[in-house]
């Protein structure tokens, strides 16, 4: 493995262990590293995480630079950012990736400011490619792809002069590959080069608030769009979800209208999902929404417009009034059980 120029991932953890987005990014980093002919490494901070970090080798991480200290057990932005920046300076990765979580969004801009390098936020896809800027050709640049202008366009951003190139990536948009049982990452102990003044805050208590709905792990999602039109239609979607043992999702328009909170939103500006079954009710099928659910194993779309784009993506399309269709679906399912 190269000593420098690798793809590095900030490894985030909570009380339950390594968070899913870090595994997602390790797997994605492997694809980027293969294109560049380099290795995959992580940077982690905390206390008592060595065993969990070693298991990241199952997802393709070769080594993790780990700074361990009791004061780092709970995330605080200043010491985390300074320590990550010092590790990046020491090992000089070519690319650094962070999850677009509360923690990632707090630490990544501070690291970028410290290192005076570029940072693209909330990416939904990454790639390696060539580009030409002001007549200068750049090979093997990190292509950072994300929604822009309120999700109305998809922009590809490059920062070829940035060293390293850095990006935060939304949760759930990258796939976690099957782990290779028994593979381990080398965990390299890094010194804590901070004084007491670098810990300006102390965490006295933490409170965890669970999301209104867990779309990422849902096996069945019934999603409501603005074609639902009223409270009765939304309740029908909720009833269908409950009947099937699923959860209620929504398009951005429904969330923007205040009918459901953002935790329910599916799409590039919401949550990317891959359930076994996705039922789209009254959703026309914007590019941004379909990008967030197109990898569902089975898609059923119910829409009164036979030209709705969602019907072209769906495995099964039902053209009709959802106020008539959904009660029939509920009765049909109950009749089989």
SS3 content of the chain, % helix, strand, coil (to 5): 35, 30, 40
* pLDDT given for residue 337 in this prediction: 57
Q: d(Cα 178, Cα 164) in Å, to the nearest integer? A: 29
Question: Shortest CA distance to 66 belongs to which of 52, 74, 58, 76?
Answer: 52
* pLDDT given for residue 304 in this prediction: 94
SS (H, E, C) 98-149: EECCHHHHHHHHHHHHHHCCCEEEEECEEEEEEEEECCEEEEEEEEEEEEEC
How far is CA 193 from each of CA 67, 79, 93, 190, 197, rounded to the nearest angstrom?
10, 10, 20, 9, 12
Q: d(Cα 256, Cα 122) in Å, to the nearest integer? A: 19
* pLDDT given for residue 151 in this prediction: 64
Question: Shortest CA distance to 236 belongs to which of 335, 321, 337?
Answer: 321
Q: Are strands 136-148 and 153-157 parallel, antiparallel or unpaired?
A: antiparallel
Angle between helices 231-244 and 322-335 (to 10 degrees): 20
Which helix (H) or strand (E) covers residue 32, if one does? Answer: helix 20-36
For residue 242, give the 3-state DSSP assignment: helix
* pLDDT given for residue 172 in this prediction: 85
Question: Shortest CA distance to 125 belongs to which of 60, 170, 61, 178?
Answer: 170
Q: d(Cα 142, Cα 322) in Å, to the nearest integer? A: 44
What is the reported pTM?
A: 0.82
Q: What's the chain's Rg over C-alpha atoms?
A: 22
For residue 224, give the 3-state DSSP assignment: strand
Q: Which residues of the chain have pLDDT under 70?
A: 150-151, 337
């Amino acid at each position: 493995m190269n000593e420098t120029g690798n793809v590095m991932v900030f490894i985030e953890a909570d009380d339950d262990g390594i968070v899913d987005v870090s595994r997602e990014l390790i797997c994605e980093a492997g694809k980027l590293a293969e294109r560049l002919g380099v290795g995959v490494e992580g940077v982690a901070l905390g206390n008592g995480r060595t065993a969990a970090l070693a298991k990241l080798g199952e997802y393709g991480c070769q080594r993790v630079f780990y700074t361990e200290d009791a004061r780092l057990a709970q995330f605080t932005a200043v010491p985390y950012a300074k320590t990550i920046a010092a590790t990046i300076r020491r090992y000089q990765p070519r690319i650094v990736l962070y999850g677009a979580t509360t923690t990632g969004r707090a630490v990544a801009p501070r690291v970028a400011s410290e290192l005076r390098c570029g940072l693209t936020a909330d990416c939904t896809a990454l790639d390696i490619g060539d580009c030409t800027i002001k007549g200068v050709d750049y090979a093997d640049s990190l292509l950072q792809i994300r929604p822009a202008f309120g999700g109305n366009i998809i922009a590809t951003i490059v920062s070829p002069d940035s060293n390293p190139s850095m990006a935060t990536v939304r949760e759930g948009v990258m796939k976690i590959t099957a782990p290779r049982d028994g593979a381990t990452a080398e965990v390299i102990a890094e010194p804590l080069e901070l004084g007491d003044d670098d810990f300006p805050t102390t965490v006295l208590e933490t409170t965890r608030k669970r999301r209104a709905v867990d779309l990422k792990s849902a096996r069945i999602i019934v999603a409501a769009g603005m074609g639902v039109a009223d409270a009765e239609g939304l309740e029908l979607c909720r009833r269908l979800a409950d009947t099937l043992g699923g959860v209620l999702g929504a398009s951005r328009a429904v969330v923007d209208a205040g009918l459901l909170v953002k935790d329910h939103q599916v799409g590039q500006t919401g949550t990317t999902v891959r359930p076994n079954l996705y039922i789209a009710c009254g959703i026309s099928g914007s590019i941004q929404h379909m990008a967030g659910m197109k990898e569902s194993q089975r898609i059923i779309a119910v829409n009164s417009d036979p030209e709705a784009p969602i019907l072209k993506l769906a495995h099964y399309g039902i053209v009709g009034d959802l106020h008539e269709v959904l009660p029939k679906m509920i009765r049909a399912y109950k009749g089989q059980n």
